[in-house]
Amino acid sequence: MTSYALFLGCTIPARQPHYEASARKSLAQLGIELVDLANMTCCAPPPLQSIDLETSLSMAAYNICLAEEADLNMVTLCTGCFESLAMANAMLKENEKLKARVNQILSSAGKEFKGNKEVKHYLRVLLDDVGLDRLKKTVSKDLSNLKAASFSGCHLLRPSALLKFDDPERPHVFDDLIEALGAKSIWYRNKLKCCGGLLRGYADDIALAIAREKIVNTTKAGADCIVTLCPFCFLTLDLGQMLIKSSFHEEYNMPVLHYTELLSLGLGIDPKELALDFHKIRIDKVLNKIE
C-alpha cells in the first residue's frame, strides 16, 4: 500500500463527484491510499497566475508545505492542479533565490517550503506503483470493443521542461494506460491540441470553436468516447456539446469519461456507485460495449 496526500482542487468537489468517486474507488482497489489533508487551498491555476504569478507560486508552495508536514508525496487528479503544483515544486527546487522570496511570503502563514516531496499526477502513480502488467491482470471486464480517444489536456504535458511527465510531442503514457484496460486508444486529428477551456468566460465564442473541433475530430475518427483527465477539459467537452447544439445546431452525443471512470468500469466496480448522472452526455453507449 502506498499513501499519497490527495490534492482534490476546486472543480472536482464542486461539480464532478463522478470523477472523485471513481478515483477513490479504483485507486483504493489498486492499493493506493489517498490521505485527505485539512487546510489546502486553491492550487493557483492559470486564472490566478494571470492575476499575480508571485501570489500563485506562493499558494502552490503553501499547499506543498502541507504535504511536506504530513511526510507524504502529493497526488492530483486534475491536470490543472498538477501543472500549478508540479511547476511550482520544480521551479522552487531549482531556484534558491525564488525559494527564498516565496519562503519570506510563506512565513506570514507560518510555513516554509523545503522541497523534499514530489507532486505526481495519478497516471504516474498508476504507471510506477501499480504498473501496466499488474493493471492488465487486475482488469476483470472486457473493454476490447471500445475505441477511446484519449485527451490528456495541455497541462499534463506542458511546459515539459518543468513537468517532465512524457514526451510533449509524442506522448504515450496515457494511451498505454488506456490500452492496459483492454480498450483501443485511437488516433485522431490534432489530438494534442488544447480544448480552449480556459477562454470560457472571457471569449466564449473562441472557446466553443476550439472545443467543437475536438468533438468533430474524435467523431470523424470513429471514437466511442473521449477520455479526459482534467475536470475543465471534461466540462468544456461534455457540457460544451450542449452549447455546440444551441450555437451550431449540431448534435454529436459523444460520451466523455474521465480515465478513472473507465478504470473503475474495467475493474468491475458497479456503475451505480459512480455518480454517472453528472454526465451531460449520457454514456450508455460506452456501458453497452463493456462486457
Partner 1 sequence: MAHKGEKTLSSTFPKEVTSRLGGETVALCYQCGTCASSCPVAKVTERFNPRELIKLSLLGEKQEVLSGSAIWLCCSCYKCQERCPQKVEIADVIYALRNMAIKEGNTPNIYSEFAAGLMSEGRIVPLSKFVEKKRPDFGLPPLKPAGVDALRKILSTTGFDKIQWKKEEAS
Identity of the residue, 52 or 142, whose beta carbon is nearer to partner 1 in the bound complex: 52
Burial (CB < 10 A; 0-12, 13-18, 19+), residue 160, is: middle
Identity of the residue, 51 or 100, whose beta carbon is nearer to partner 1 in the bound complex: 51
Q: Exactly one of 31, 33, 55, 222 binds partner 1 (CB under 8 A); which one?
A: 55
Identity of the residue, 56 or 73, whose beta carbon is nearer to partner 1 in the bound complex: 56
Q: How far is CA 137 from the centre of its chain?
A: 24
Which residue type sits at 73?
N
**Is residue 288 within the footprint of partner 1 (CB under 8 A)?**
no
**Is residue 45 within the footprint of partner 1 (CB under 8 A)?**
yes
CA 163/CA 88 separation, integer angstroms:
10
Identity of the residue, 171 or 255, whose beta carbon is nearer to partner 1 in the bound complex: 171
Does residue 156 contact residue 126 with C-beta atoms inside 8 Å?
A: no
Closest approach of Cβ 64 to partner 1, in Å?
13
Q: Which range of residues in 105-113, 123-131, 179-187, 247-255 is near partner 1 by CB under 8 A?
A: 105-113
**Is residue 187 within the footprint of partner 1 (CB under 8 A)?**
no
Residues 192-231 touching partner 1, rule: CB under 8 A, are: 192-194, 196-199, 201-203, 206-207, 209-210, 213
Q: How far is CA 89 from the centre of its chain?
A: 18
Identity of the residue, 62 or 122, whose beta carbon is nearer to partner 1 in the bound complex: 62
**Any long-range contacts for 82-85 (C-beta under 8 Å, 24+ apart)?**
82/119, 82/120, 82/121, 82/155, 82/156, 82/163, 83/45, 83/155, 83/156, 83/163, 84/43, 84/44, 84/45, 84/49, 84/56, 84/60, 85/7, 85/43, 85/60, 85/119
Identity of the residue, 143 or 233, whose beta carbon is nearer to partner 1 in the bound complex: 233
Of 115, 242, 227, nearest in space to 176 by CA: 227
Closest approach of Cβ 182 to partner 1, in Å?
25
Q: Exactly one of 158, 280, 285, 289 binds partner 1 (CB under 8 A); which one?
A: 158
**Is residue 261 within the footprint of partner 1 (CB under 8 A)?**
no
Residues 57-76 touching partner 1, rule: CB under 8 A, are: 57-59, 62, 66
**Is residue 108 within the footprint of partner 1 (CB under 8 A)?**
yes
Burial (CB < 10 A; 0-12, 13-18, 19+), residue 119, is: buried
Q: Which range of residues in 109-117, 136-144, 219-227, 257-265 is near partner 1 by CB under 8 A?
A: 109-117
Q: What share of the chain is helix, strand, coil (3-state, %, to 5)?
A: 55, 10, 35
Does residue 120 contact residue 74 with C-beta atoms inside 8 Å?
A: yes
Identity of the residue, 117 or 155, whose beta carbon is nearer to partner 1 in the bound complex: 155
Closest approach of Cβ 200 to partner 1, in Å?
9
In sequence order, what are the beta bridge partners of 146?
Answer: none
Closest approach of Cβ 291 to partner 1, in Å?
25
Nine-digit cell at 151? Answer: 485527451
Which residue type sits at 169?
E
Supply φ then ψ for residue 220, to 5 degrees. -60, -35
- Binding residues (CB under 8 A) for partner 1: these are 8, 10-11, 13-15, 17-18, 20-21, 24-25, 36-42, 45-55, 57-59, 62, 66, 105-106, 108-111, 154-155, 158-160, 168-169, 192-194, 196-199, 201-203, 206-207, 209-210, 213, 273-275
